[in-house]
Every structure is written in C-alpha cells, then in structure tokens.
Amino acid sequence: MDYDWDFSTVLANWRALASGAVMTILISLGSIVIGSVAGLAVGLCRSSSRPLLRAAAAVYVEVLLCIPILVLLIWLYYCLPIVLGVAPSGPATAITALSLSLSAFFAEAVRGGLLSVPEGQYDAAAAVGLSRTQAYLHIILPQAFRVSLPAILTLYVSTIKLTSLASVIAVYELVHTGRGIVASTFRPLEVFTVLALFYVVILMPLMLLVRRVESLARWRLA
C-alpha cells in the first residue's frame, strides 16, 4: 500500500508536542524520585527486625503489586474525591499512582539486594564496633545497591513508559497531546511515529546503561 507521508502536521504542532514531552518528563521525574524514596523506606521496613514493621510493609507491597496501575490511576482520580472530598489535579494523580506502584516494586528490589548480602557481613560489622545503622550505611546498603541496581533501572524504564497511561485522565502528556493532534489532522501514522521515536530517544540510553550495569555485575561475580 502506497502512503504519502506528511510530517508537516507534526511540525505545525511542535509546540504542543514539546509541551506534552515536558509534562511526560516531569511526571516521570516526580514519580521516580518519590517512588524511589518511598520504596527504599518500605524495603528497609520489610527487612526490619521488628515484626510489626515487616508485616505493615509486606501488606503495603502485596496490595500494590496486586492492583493494575491503570486501575490505581483511575481510582485515585475518580474515587478519591468521593471518599475524601479531595480532587487532585491530573498530573498530581499520575505522579501519585506511578509513585505508589514504583515504590512497591522498588521495595522488592531493595529487599532482594539486602537478602543477597551474606550474613557474615553483619557479623563482621559488629566485630569492628559498628552500630547496626553504621553497618547498613557503610557496608550493607552499598552492596545491596550494586546487586539491585539493574532491576531498579529497569523499573525506571517501565515507569517512564507507563506515564502514557496518564492520558486516560486527560493529562496533557505526550500521548494525550498526540491523540488531540490526530483528531484534528487525521494523520495518526506521522504523529504516533514521532511519539514512538521520542520514547526511543529518551529510553535507549537508559536501556544501554542497564545492560552495562548488568555486564559489570556479572564480571564482578565471575
């Protein structure tokens, strides 16, 4: 089938697409920062020696792992105002939903990293007079971080891609903006090709970093 490609519609709407790209990047950064901090805290709680903290963190993680991100996004946007009388903005809702979802997966990555640290490391830290907090900061967490870094970077890639779901609650990120342009120009192939290329340009360096980190991790374990 012959198709007459015409990217003039994309060029004519570059300001709208640029604005959507900025919104996508802001939602991604906000979700990654908040989700990482929350996930680290929850992951440490899951590895705590206190049963109550472990149980609370486990419930938090398991519940969020069971809820599809799209369902969580829609619930926060449409149901939260009914339950609490609070109506958050679309971008705030998107960041909240993505942060919650990321934090659960991040916590599991942290827990896996902590479990990979041999028990002897804890004993060695105690033997040289380090407190539990000092041992975590200077010995345990750095080792756990190296182990879990590939998984964490992969989670960041997934989070950036999931920002496209914010379009269902009318957030003017890249996909929602692109759909609006398609509705007025009837040129879906050109518009969504440009959108796909944007994600490739943004995510390819991060994916290459993931591969590099994985290679270094395998080399150190060899």
CATH code for position 58: 1.10.3720.10
pLDDT digits (tens, 9 = 90+) for 105-126: 999 999 999 988 887 877 787 7
Residue-range definition of the domain harbouring residue 140: 9-221
Q: Above 80 in pLDDT, residue 217?
A: no
Whether residue 147 lies inside any domain: the answer is: yes
Mean pLDDT across the stretch 10-36? 96
Q: What are phi and psi of 85, to 5 degrees?
A: 70, 20
Whether the model pTM is above 0.85: yes
More confident of the two residues 122 and 188: 188
**Number of domains present in the structure of the chain:** 1
When pLDDT is cut at 50, 70 and 90, the band that residue 219 belongs to is low
Q: What are phi and psi of 159, to 5 degrees?
A: -65, -45
Whether residue 4 lies inside any domain: the answer is: no
Whether residue 104 lies inside any domain: the answer is: yes
Whether residue 2 lies inside any domain: the answer is: no
Q: Above 90 in pLDDT, residue 103?
A: yes
Whether residue 1 lies inside any domain: the answer is: no
Mean pLDDT across the stretch 78-94? 91
Helix axis angle, 51-66 relative to 14-46, nearest 10°? 150
pLDDT digits (tens, 9 = 90+) for 34-57: 999 999 999 999 988 899 999 999
Cα distance between residue 46 and residue 110, in whole Å:
9
